[in-house]
Amino acid sequence: MAYLVPSEFVTKMVDAGESKIYMSTRDALIRAYMAGAILALSAVFAVSCSVATGVPLIGALLFPVGFCMLYLLGFDLLTGVFVLTPLALIDKRPGVTLPRVIKHWGIVFTGNFLGALTVAVLMAYIFTFGFHTDGGVLAKTIGTIGEKRTLGYAEYGFAGMVTLFIRGMLCNWMVSTGVVGAMISTTVGGKVIAMWMPVMLFFAMAFEHSVVNMFLFPFGILTGAHFTFVDYLLWNEIPTVLGNLVGGLAFTGLTLYSTHVKTAPKRSFN
């Protein structure tokens, strides 16, 4: 599988973060748009398989296909740039500043949202025959997910918000590990295996992924789910984005960087 040792792939992480900061706005937007669209299609696929089989684990096993596709094609998710770009800032790479990092996050968020929204509209149209039917079992299932993961959190107030935030943290711990997985091997097969495992885990555990939710919730609203766009923003997307940022950076980016790039001096027994 041509495995790279941690000191090698963590350096690649920092290099990747730096290159993203220097990427043109046009390229960053296109890559983010395509990433959001492909991940949304993968979410439709996974939920469809779960509904058809009655076995949610089937959906979790199959969902990573979209994640692998988009990273092999060189596209970008917000959850990934949350981990990579701050490392370039911490490493003091030339020209990498906090305003530029935040600007890049904004571009990728916009692209991911537009891509996921495009697929949400197309899928809603298909499943409802141009909004003439209720969309059937799949639309009802996604709508129920949206209600449980907005109004369901709101029901518990502050505790619900904290629960949502933690689910976002745990999600990007795993998803960003999948992003790192794309750098662990120099072969396609090795990359796919390394990406597949943590992404499958996040989906099976129903953690909160900001980009997946950019598809699920607008699709639910378009097909008549009983929550509003404001509910989605306040009781899912915003806390999920913050949780994704903290979890991915703290549990994946900083831990790998601190022990494999900024390694502490070895102990002396003299």
Instruction: Write out pLDDT tens, residues 179-230.
Output: 999 999 999 999 999 999 999 999 999 999 999 999 999 999 999 999 999 9
Instruction: Indicate if the pLDDT at residue 1 is higher than 70.
Output: no
* Per-residue model confidence as pLDDT tens digits over 155-186: 999 999 999 999 999 999 999 999 999 999 99
Say which DSSP state 186 is in: S
Mind listing the pLDDT tens digit for each residue in 239-257? 999 999 999 999 999 999 9
Measure the CA–CA gap between 209 and 191, rounded to whole angstroms: 21
The two structure tokens encoding residue 205: 């555990």
Q: Determine the distance from the C-alpha atom of residue 254 to the mean position of all C-alpha atoms in its chain, rounded to a whole number.
A: 18
pLDDT at residue 269, rounded to an integer: 85
Residue type, 19: S
pLDDT mean across residues, the chain? 96
Query: Do 261 and 10 meet the contact criterion of CB atoms below 8 Å apart?
Result: yes
- Phi, psi (5° rounding) for residue 206? 55, 40
Distance CA 223, CA 134 (A): 7
Rounded Cα–Cα distance for residues 151 and 88 (Å): 38
What does the pLDDT average to over 106-128?
98
Burial 31-62 (b: 16+ CB within 10 A, else e): bbbbbbbbbbbbbbebbbbbbeeeebeebbbb
Task: Report the pLDDT averaged over residues 69-93.
Answer: 98
The pLDDT assigned to 159 comes to 98
Q: What is the pTM of this model?
A: 0.96
| Alpha-carbon span 233 to 214, nearest angstrom | 10
Q: Give the pLDDT score at 268.
A: 84
- Residue 72: band (very low, low, confident or very high) from pLDDT cuts 50, 70, 90: very high
Residues 6+ apart with CB under 8 A from 169: 243, 244, 246, 247, 250, 251
Tokens of 74: 């060189």
Above 60 in pLDDT, residue 12?
yes
Give whole-number Cα distances, 63 to 13, 144, 156, in Å: 24, 19, 30
Predicted confidence (pLDDT) at residue 68 exceeds the cutoff of 90: yes
- Percent of the chain whose pLDDT exceeds 70: 99
Q: Are 119 and 41 in contact (CB under 8 A)?
A: yes
Rounded Cα–Cα distance for residues 104 and 238 (Å): 17
Residue predicted with more confidence, 270 or 24: 24
